[in-house]
Structure 1
């Protein structure tokens, strides 16, 4: 990738982020479509246009989605979670420059994030706030779509998944801004040494 860019490492950081996001989106779409085709061939799935609450497990769902829409919404949440986690890992890899340190941090972030995401359906407000801050909570979209899980925000009730999506979008923008600032700051320091 460094050799493919005209200015060497100067555009490497942006290229890495764009390629990581593109690969994640492509893999998520391909895997979701393959799963859908396999289940369609195996079981027929004649009722993909049924509302999600037609299934007993989702009878209390607040969402007015068809089964097909709910399936792709869950896949979209997984894709969004992977993008946030990969952006965080790209930022850490740009800061550490050490593969072993990155691996250890990645394992720690994954274990801690998965632990925190287990509280997304909890009744304890503090645990829910921690779970909403974890991008791994978006992997729990299947559980969140089952019933009405809301959060009281200044007297307004919002669905937890909606709050989690907004928080993760803000977190993603912050990670991109930090990466951009770190990249610009390191380039200005290198140019001042010359």
Structure 2
């Protein structure tokens, strides 16, 4: 007779599912009121918990923000890594710019948390920041392959993409007036880069 299989403890799965529900509720709070206005009391109310019970999942507001940062950074990393890059290094650089711009426009709260310091006193933990570092390494490598190797040029490229995202979100949320100008802006950037390198 085969020994009976040991019963699977359902508690870790329930805890993980509840944790995910709390993070989702926190994003909803952030979308409605802003990242800095997230309240553990309001998040607990959204998921039907008393605030003391929430501490068994997240011991502090910063711990909850950390989980949100890691989730957002991981989503962007996945988008960047899974993009179908063309063989041309320049076109690959354009695609990574488009991927980051589209993420920022489609998910402004997540993008704000990753790229802007909007929460006083919050600094992501090493674990939460790890996917952001991996995304940055991927980004820098793709740009280097396209001839954008100097750190100052990477900074300019980054500012151009971030600037278009910022203008789009500030002036025409849901539209594409600024986001649609990405190729034109990158044409000017690469023309400047090539002209400088041939003189």
TM above 0.5 = no
Scaled by the length of structure 1, the TM-score of the pair is 0.29
